[in-house]
Chains A and B, each alone.
Chain A
Amino acid sequence: MSRFLTLSEAVEFAIRDGDAVALEGFTHLIPHAAGHEIIRQRRKRLTIIRMTPDLIYDQLVGMGCAEKMIFSWTGNPGVGSLHRVRDAIENGWPQPLAYEEHSHSAMANAYEAGAAGLPCAIFRGYVGVDLPKVNPNIKRVACPFTGEMLAAVPAIRPDVAVIHAQRADRAGNVLLEGIVGVQKEAVLAAKRSIVTVEEIVEDFGSRSPNAVILPAWTVGAIAQVPGGAYPSYAFGYYKRDNAYYKAWDAISRERESFLAWMKANVLEQGPDSFAKYARKNSIAAE
């Protein structure tokens, strides 16, 4: 059953050193504030799982929180490399980063299998390519009915899923809209979860009967963090700050400039620092 906590209480309560943690959000609704809190609380030896590691994983890796990353595409979308992730992989700074690499299809299927309580995901993929040669978690199985050879990967079952959503209601149900990615699957697949939200409302009011809602009894901790997805965006609230993503390239390129930025903007700040980015319906207003 979900309970309302502050973000620092939620991270304190749900995430332990050595956990496998999935911060999800496919470009949209990326839980940046929660990632910063994990860094402030100095979690170590995490296995970090995410289809598209971008800025928040660059920050977690550069600050030494992670020892392994499971992913399918890593970069600063439309801009270039993640310099901190590359420094860890290529030079072992600040510590070596082991990784398990998949395709998007594999990870999306593996989250779905995790949510369904299945041990593995089966799909048509990984044909004629090299990833199965370097990732022992990619196997092939024969369809028992047709004999077709299909790819199989283990289900993703994180210790903790961390997501950001638009709204929770007083009863602790959570509503997501827009590009919903794999967040529902990640929360249902995980043992524990943290959801940061823009708003807590009395009730969700009029909505599509098919709205994406995580019922209170499927959610762990809920923390209200307005602006908590910034510089990613929250549909119906604020836009993606594309200029920030471009600026990150220079900030993260050198270790010194990265550490100075993290000190000023993460270590010496708190979840409240995201409130200045919070807006409602700015998309409609523009």
Chain B
Amino acid sequence: MTDHTPTEMMTIAAARALKSSDVCFVGIGMPSAAANLARLTHAPDITLIYESGTLGTKPSVLPLSIGDGELCETALTTVSVPEMFRYWLMGGRITVGFLGGAQIDRFANLNTTVVGPYAKPKVRLPGGGGAPEIAISCGEIFIIMAQSKRSFVPKLDFVTSLGHGEGGDHRARLGVKTKGPTKLLTDLAVFEPDPRTKEMTITSIHPGVTRAQIADCTGWEVRYADTVTETPAPSARELEVLRALHARTARAHGAAA
């Protein structure tokens, strides 16, 4: 078995969920690593879009910010930010959006706004950015987040972006036509929504992870699908490409001073 970290497993599991035919709205950090890993391995024709306006970008190193020069230099074209959010996102041209957050609940609603009350926050987080409209406009949503009791909570302090709301057909009742979160990829497992209740349910457990460990890192009683598989361990090639990407990125950002 290959030797890998939980974060590498999470990133690789997320990359595998992407297809070459996808048009993917990418966020900074782990989504960006996963999307570019997919592009550099099994999904060479994937279209990557960053909200700074870059369409069809092919960065050789991961951007630190959403608008690094590398994204624009390697893009097919770069549009204005209003055009990005109107024609491309709201216009329904994105098949997959990637999101993360500080808190998630069992229906994959996300909080990236505040911990504590909004008017007097204990911790002021960055805020929604593109997320509220990414969550309703993209064909489906993949969420990538490390699991802990602090982040996988029974109730969000603030709903920044809509997952499956209160579950069931709640999205449809709100007039939303897209699928919402179809995969939640963590450092321990893969969750998918239950077809009826829409509660995020474990369908695959990463190699070496136990159900007790998952219970310790989740703030609600986790449900498992009838059939739970083991996530295939990272292949040597997946690890090699991911590590080379991170090494190039570290060199590029460290050298920028």
Q: Are B90 and A123 in contact (CB under 8 A)?
A: yes
Q: Are A239 and B256 in contact (CB under 8 A)?
A: yes
Closest Cβ neighbor of B111 among chain A residues: A130
Q: How far is the CB of B256 from chain A (nearest CB, A)?
A: 4
Contact residues of A between 82 and 129, Cβ < 8 Å to B: 85-86, 89-90, 101, 103-105, 108-109, 111-112, 123-129
Q: How far is the CB of B125 from chain A (nearest CB, A)?
A: 8
Indicate which residue in A101, A184, A241, A242 contacts B80 across the interface (CB closer than 8 Å).
A184
Known: A51-B81, A124-B90, A180-B53. A241 touches B257 (CB 8 A): yes
One digit per residue, 1 when the CB lies within 8 angstroms of any chain A CB and 0 when it does not, for chain B 15-34 equals: 00000000000001100000
Contacts of B52 in A (CB 8 A): 26-28, 179, 181
Contacts of B195 in A (CB 8 A): none
Indicate which residue in A51, A129, A149 contacts B175 across the interface (CB closer than 8 Å).
A149
Residue tally, chain B, CB below 8 Å to A: 59
Q: Are A131 and B82 in contact (CB under 8 A)?
A: no
Contacts of A131 in B (CB 8 A): 113, 128, 132, 160
One digit per residue, 1 when the CB lies within 8 angstroms of any chain A CB and 0 when it does not, for chain B 52-78 equals: 111000000001111111011100001
Q: Are A283 and B174 in contact (CB under 8 A)?
A: no
Q: How far is the CB of B39 from chain A (nearest CB, A)?
A: 19
Contacts of B252 in A (CB 8 A): 242
Q: How far is the CB of A182 from chain B (nearest CB, A)?
A: 5
Closest Cβ neighbor of B252 among chain A residues: A242
Q: A78 contacts the other chain (Cβ, under 8 Å)?
A: yes
Q: Are B121 and A27 in contact (CB under 8 A)?
A: no
Contacts of A77 in B (CB 8 A): 28, 64-66
Q: A57 contacts the other chain (Cβ, under 8 Å)?
A: no
The total of Cβ contacts below 8 Å across the A-B interface reads 186
Q: Are A242 and B85 in contact (CB under 8 A)?
A: no
Q: A73 contacts the other chain (Cβ, under 8 Å)?
A: yes
Indicate which residue in A79, A101, A240 contacts B127 across the interface (CB closer than 8 Å).
A101
Contacts of A85 in B (CB 8 A): 124
Q: Are A103 and B257 in contact (CB under 8 A)?
A: no
Closest Cβ neighbor of B91 among chain A residues: A124
Q: Are A240 and B82 in contact (CB under 8 A)?
A: no
| Interface size range of chain A in the complex | 35 or more
Closest Cβ neighbor of B65 among chain A residues: A77
One digit per residue, 1 when the CB lies within 8 angstroms of any chain B CB and 0 when it does not, for chain A 225-241 equals: 00000000101000111
Q: Are B124 and A90 in contact (CB under 8 A)?
A: yes
Closest Cβ neighbor of A149 among chain B residues: B175
Indicate which residue in B89, B174, B254, B257 contacts A128 across the interface (CB closer than 8 Å).
B174
Q: B136 contacts the other chain (Cβ, under 8 Å)?
A: yes
Known: A72-B129, A109-B86, A128-B171. A242 touches B53 (CB 8 A): no
Q: Are A243 and B128 in contact (CB under 8 A)?
A: no
Contacts of B128 in A (CB 8 A): 72-73, 101, 103-104, 129, 131
Q: Are B69 and A233 in contact (CB under 8 A)?
A: yes
Q: Are A105 and B72 in contact (CB under 8 A)?
A: no
Q: How far is the CB of B171 from chain A (nearest CB, A)?
A: 7
> A222 vs B67: C-alpha distance in the bound complex, in angstroms?
25
Q: Are B130 and A104 in contact (CB under 8 A)?
A: yes
Known: A109-B86, A128-B171. A179 touches B132 (CB 8 A): no
Contacts of B136 in A (CB 8 A): 124-125, 127-128
Indicate which residue in B65, B161, B162 contacts A78 across the interface (CB closer than 8 Å).
B65
One digit per residue, 1 when the CB lies within 8 angstroms of any chain B CB and 0 when it does not, for chain A 53-83 equals: 0000000000000000001111101110100
Q: B159 contacts the other chain (Cβ, under 8 Å)?
A: yes
> A103 vs B113: C-alpha distance in the bound complex, in angstroms?
11
> A152 vs B56: C-alpha distance in the bound complex, in angstroms?
30
Known: A233-B69, A240-B64. 8 other contacts (CB 8 A): A78-B28, A85-B124, A105-B85, A112-B86, A127-B132, A129-B161, A235-B72, A242-B252
* Selected A-B contacts with CB under 8 Å, 28 pairs: A27-B52, A27-B67, A28-B69, A28-B72, A73-B128, A77-B64, A77-B65, A78-B64, A81-B124, A86-B124, A89-B121, A90-B124, A104-B129, A108-B82, A124-B90, A126-B133, A128-B171, A128-B176, A131-B160, A178-B69, A178-B78, A180-B78, A182-B82, A185-B82, A241-B256, A242-B252, A246-B253, A283-B73
